Amino acid sequence: MKAVTLVPAFAVAALAGAIQARDGHCGGDNCARQVTGTRPGLTPISSRRADCSNFMKTTVVPDATHRTTTVTVTATHGEAAHVRRDGALEYRAATESPTVIPAYAPGCRELRNYSSACSCWGITAVTTTAPQPTKTETVTVTTDACEDL
């Protein structure tokens, strides 16, 4: 009789090591329910998962490399060379981070709440680096065809 009582106790103890306690943030609040819930009427899970994946992405755009191109224009007698000047664009390093919580999750009052709800699906933050942009500067040099005469 004692052996019969001890076997279930050992089984429970063995299983206890295999079961991980939930930390309580998954499904325990309206934000998590709206993001990861399964009740009828919610936005489809595939859309919510895609939103979470996009939200958890951060893109870093590095500083631009600089390249200078020189163009020589020869004006004929009496003609002036037309030089086009564009305003210089300044490329700067930038980081694009998520800032919008989807409308179907009004319970997520802060970005960290939405991020936490997304992590319930195992979706984690990912940082990607965009290709390095190239800034090309064109320098135009004008010469007069009659100058050499």
* Total domains, the chain: 1
Reported confidence tier of residue 68, pLDDT bands at 50, 70, 90: confident
pLDDT of residue 34: 94
pTM of model > 0.85: no
Q: Is residue 83 part of a domain?
A: no
What mean pLDDT, rounded, does the chain reach? Answer: 74
Expressed as residue numbers, the domain containing 142 is 25-78+92-148
Q: Which segment of 19-23, 33-37, 118-122, 139-143 scores lowest on mean pLDDT?
A: 19-23
pLDDT exceeds 80 at position 40: yes
Candidates 63, 65, 66; CA nearest to 129 is: 63
Residue 85 counted as domain residue: no
Predicted pLDDT at 60? 86
Q: Is residue 8 part of a domain?
A: no
Q: Count of H helices and E strands in the chain?
A: 4, 5
Q: Does 19 reside within a domain? A: no
